[in-house]
Structure 1
Amino acid sequence: MIRPAFIAALAALLPATPSLADTLHAADRKDAIQAREGATPVAAFDILAAHAHRSGRIVTFHMTTAGAAGSVTPEPAGALGGAPVLSYVWPTSLDPAVVGFEAKSGILALAATSHPDFDDTPLFDENRDGDPANDGGDWHSHWVVLTADEGCPDGALGVRNIPEGAAPRLPATWPGLPLYIDSPGFTPLFDGPEISVSVGFADETGLPETAYDGVTAALRVNASVHAPLLCVEDVFDVASGDLSLPGRLK
């Protein structure tokens, strides 16, 4: 017979049932960044609101769009060179060192991405078919460090490159690309117009008050597959309108 004390102990290990505050869409939250509707004709990337909230060492990032979030994915290019990437991005004021990158190395951003031409989550099998290398088109998460790169069109932002021979500090789940990118395996969740990603930090006491924003964007792999490897090609929408990071995570 299973003892009641054992059942109680097991129940204590299960995730808590989300509260009403956790299940509200970003657009319904009073402290969310409220955006102007109609900034982009692609409703799935037209931001209505962005929000982040914290429970201990877990932070959940939300974004609400005018259409069904995640319903649009890139058309494959057929090769890594020139491969398109679509993304929901939360730029933050956090130092990249918080998640394992070199300190003060750029803008730390959480991104949910889809790119069917390549897979950059070698430790995870998102579609559960037994092959961890064929599911780049499924939405998945990354921490990335963004910097302005003169090699990108018009000096746009790109994911920071790792020069040949360099050995910067990188997270344990770095996927092996010559970029400041992490593949931590945090699963993006979709609920109609809402996308949310919950991320864990090692130490809640070391997490400072954080500014954030919400962005939807297209990126593209350099056709020559060389530095700069991955550049922002088009910004569809910015929650604040000016990338001023007005959101505050206490």
Structure 2
Amino acid sequence: MKMSHLFIATTLTTVLLGADSYAHNKHQGHIKAPMSPSVDPEFDIVHAKVITQGSHLIFQQAVAGKVGGKQPEKNGQLAGAGVYSYVWPTSLNSSAVGFEADQGILSLALTIHPDFDDTPLYDEDGDGNKSNDGDKWHSHWVVLVPDDACGKGALKVKDIAQGTSPKLPITWPKLPLFIDSPGFDFSLEKSEVLVRVPLSSLGFPENFSFDGVTAGLKINQQVHAPLLCVTNVFDIASGDLSLPGKSQ
């Protein structure tokens, strides 16, 4: 079923309550947010934007503190493993990046998780082993959907139901999730997070709506559906997840 912008905004507002972010000012398609003293400065969003720069789309978040220095505590196993993420929920259809159409909320994410590696095509630390890099920041496209099994009103990365074969991107990491590991270039410098998405990799219109979120996720202790739940929202750029940003 096709998900409207209103459905996306309503769903996200419902499932991500608790983030300490309030009124915002929108300017030229960007989202400007107030500082939130109760949020870790590393995840306290003050600005978010998506702009076209040459042959790339640049997804940006600026935070109150220094970015990229924290990661979840190492768990020692996949069950219960934690994930930190800078996320850009969008109004784009899931088909825009190679997933089956109309699957949920297509979101770009920059993540880190020391207990598992979900980028099997890339060797982020250059040590010759492509399966030990989860503790390095890396990019994903994910499809988010609500699932009360993650907690009342919570979101998860959508599971691929057993016995089904949906359309998936060519860089899908062979996990039973609607997740893609495209290996986009990014930077984490001072207070700014940037992810560079090649326009040539995309099949979506130039303009779309977006928001900015910082969040913690966790692998289910039973390591089955729901496999990866959003368990903690640190901040929301718009304050209400109405996706007010406009790509440029």
Short-chain TM bin: 0.7 to 0.9
Is the 1:111–1:144 contact (alpha carbons within 8 Å) kept by the matching residues of 2? yes
Amino acid at match of 1:93: S
Aligned length: 223
Alpha carbons of 1:172 and 1:56: their partners in 2 closer, same or farther (altered >3 Å)? Answer: same
What is the CA distance between 1:150 and its match in structure 2?
A: 2.2
Amino acid at match of 2:47: A
Q: State the SS of the aligned residue for 1:225.
A: coil
2:117 maps to which of 112, 116, 119: 119
Residues 59-208 of structure 1 correspond to what in structure 2 (within 5 A)? 59-202=57-200, 206-208=204-206
Please name the residue that 1:229 is paired with.
Answer: 227
What is the CA distance between 1:206 and its match in structure 2?
A: 4.5
What is the CA distance between 1:203 and its match in structure 2?
A: 7.1
Which runs of no fewer than 5 residues in structure 1 stay unpaired?
Answer: 1-26
Structure 1 runs of 4+ with >4 Å offset: 203-206
What is the CA distance between 1:208 and its match in structure 2?
A: 4.2
Is the 1:57–1:204 contact (alpha carbons within 8 Å) kept by the matching residues of 2? no
Equivalents in 2 of 1:155, 1:248: separation in Å? 27
Equivalents in 2 of 1:232, 1:206: separation in Å? 26
What is the CA distance between 1:202 and its match in structure 2?
A: 3.3
2:47 maps to which of 37, 46, 49: 49
Q: State the SS of the aligned residue for 1:147.
A: strand
Comparing 211-220 and 68-77, the one that deviates more: 68-77
Equivalents in 2 of 1:158, 1:203: separation in Å? 25
Alpha carbons of 1:204 and 1:79: their partners in 2 closer, same or farther (altered >3 Å)? Answer: closer
Q: Decide which structure has the larger Cα Rg and report it.
A: 1
Which runs of no fewer than 5 residues in structure 2 stay unpaired?
Answer: 1-24
Equivalents in 1 of 2:158, 2:205: separation in Å? 23
Equivalents in 2 of 1:82, 1:44: separation in Å? 23
Per-residue CA deviations over 1:128-178 (Å, capped at 9, x if unaligned) read: 111011010100000000000121111301000001111000000000000
Is the 2:139–2:181 contact (alpha carbons within 8 Å) kept by the matching residues of 1? yes
Equivalents in 2 of 1:105, 1:205: separation in Å? 16
TM-score of the superposed pair, with normalisation by structure 1:
0.85
Is the 1:101–1:169 contact (alpha carbons within 8 Å) kept by the matching residues of 2? yes
After superposition, the CA RMSD in angstroms is 1.8
TM-score of the superposed pair, with normalisation by structure 2:
0.86
Alpha carbons of 1:237 and 1:185: their partners in 2 closer, same or farther (altered >3 Å)? Answer: same
Is the 2:97–2:201 contact (alpha carbons within 8 Å) kept by the matching residues of 1? no
Equivalents in 1 of 2:116, 2:181: separation in Å? 14
